[in-house]
Amino acid sequence: MAQIIRSGAFLQQCWSVHPLCVTVKRMADDRTLVLSCSSCTSAHHLTLGMVVPKDSAAKEATGGGPSNEEDPGESLLSACIATHQASITLREMDVFQDLVLLRCADCRRHYELTVSSFETHQR
């Protein structure tokens, strides 16, 4: 049985040691974002609170248009994961404030995630 560690510190340590190995795998139905590390073979599960999508400054400057205010952030993130999963990277995180920032290179959007719980599943 895999060991489960309930702390964001393990994801932060994993990401700080090998940031290019941490990738977005999928969005589960229960508001859980799953990240995977190919180096330490851990799966990091983030239970999401609030998702705030933000267009990049470059996109706004070139007339990319405002983001659709009627679309909730979670549905935008889910659609982004479904269409360009390989382009999404973990950019910043703060375990003291339970915040994670993802960036999609394809749609040039940032996603600020408020995380209600962190879990690391070690294989």
pLDDT at 14: 93
For 66-112, how does the pLDDT look when each residue is reduced to its tens digit (9 = 90+)? 444 444 789 999 999 999 999 999 999 999 999 999 999 999 999 99
- Name the token pair of 112: 């600020």
Residues with Cβ within 8 Å of residue 16, at least 6 apart in sequence: none
Confidence of residue 2 (pLDDT cuts 50, 70, 90): confident
pLDDT at 115: 96
Q: 55 or 115: whose pLDDT is higher? A: 115
For 25-66, how does the pLDDT look when each residue is reduced to its tens digit (9 = 90+)? 999 888 999 999 999 889 999 999 999 999 876 555 444 444
E strands within the chain? 3-5, 22-27, 32-37, 42-55, 88-94, 99-104, 109-122
pLDDT at 88: 95
